[in-house]
Amino acid sequence: MKFVSVKLIVCLTGMPGAGKTTIAEGLKSKGFDKITMGDAVRAEATRRKIEPTGENLGKLMIELREKNGPGAVAELIKDGIQNSESDVVLVDGVRSLAEVNVLKKIGTVKVLAIHASGDTRYKFLTGRGRSDAPSDREDFTKRDSREIGVGMSESIALADETISNNNMTIEELVGTAYQVIKGWMT
């Protein structure tokens, strides 16, 4: 297994539905690799034969952190980052500074926070058709509270840069993120 040095690890953080995955998917065309924190949790759920509902994944995420420390999910993706052949790896879904600190041990890290209003995020989440989409507003609010409880607000507040995604097209959002990341690459 060959380990390639990663020049830049870009941690995408923000509340569920803010646009992190949209950015990561859109920037793959620029040659950036994408690793999704939620996929690591979903893979662990599959390994344990746990149904991947939003509630179950949230409980598993918290369990992993309680048993293995607040950077536990970042530990699950380190090999994928180190094995990447790209100079830039986008980590979709960083939730805490502890996760950022785990990643700082393997590369240069920048944090890009994506912000969108609750109404915008609810619309995005219910429209994307994933098994962990909120079933109603109450479920949405519980999920937000859980995310804040694991340190999301700190990672957003202390980000290197923030993008507001309330009135942007997908092209504008991805283009804005690309310009920010391009600035970090120089």
Query: Is there a contact between 92 and 20 (Cβ–Cβ < 8 Å)?
Result: yes
Q: What is the pLDDT of residue 23?
A: 98
Question: Residue 168 falls within a domain, yes or no?
Answer: yes
Q: What is the pLDDT of residue 58?
A: 86
Closest CA to 86 of 38, 30, 36: 30
Query: Is there a contact between 71 and 150 (Cβ–Cβ < 8 Å)?
Result: no
Q: What is the pLDDT of residue 147?
A: 87
Q: For the chain, how many structural domains are there in total?
A: 1
The 8 Å CB, 24+ separation contacts for 163-166 are 163/19, 163/112, 163/113, 163/114, 163/115, 164/115, 164/116, 165/18, 165/19, 165/114, 165/115, 165/116, 165/120, 166/115, 166/116, 166/117, 166/120
The Cα–Cα gap between 149 and 37 comes to 17
Q: Looking at residue 42, which CATH number applies to its domain?
A: 3.40.50.300
pTM over 0.75: yes
Question: Residue 2 falls within a domain, yes or no?
Answer: no
Question: Residue 53 falls within a domain, yes or no?
Answer: yes
Domain holding 86, by residue range, is 8-185
In a structure prediction context, what are the per-residue pLDDT tens digits for the chain, which is 186 residues long?
Answer: 444 455 899 999 999 999 999 999 999 999 999 999 989 999 999 999 999 888 899 899 989 999 999 999 999 999 999 999 999 999 999 999 999 999 999 999 999 999 999 999 999 999 888 777 898 999 999 989 988 988 899 999 999 999 999 999 999 999 999 999 999 997
Q: What is the pLDDT of residue 136?
A: 92
The length of the chain, given as a count of residues? 186
Question: Residue 83 falls within a domain, yes or no?
Answer: yes
Q: What is the pLDDT of residue 4?
A: 46
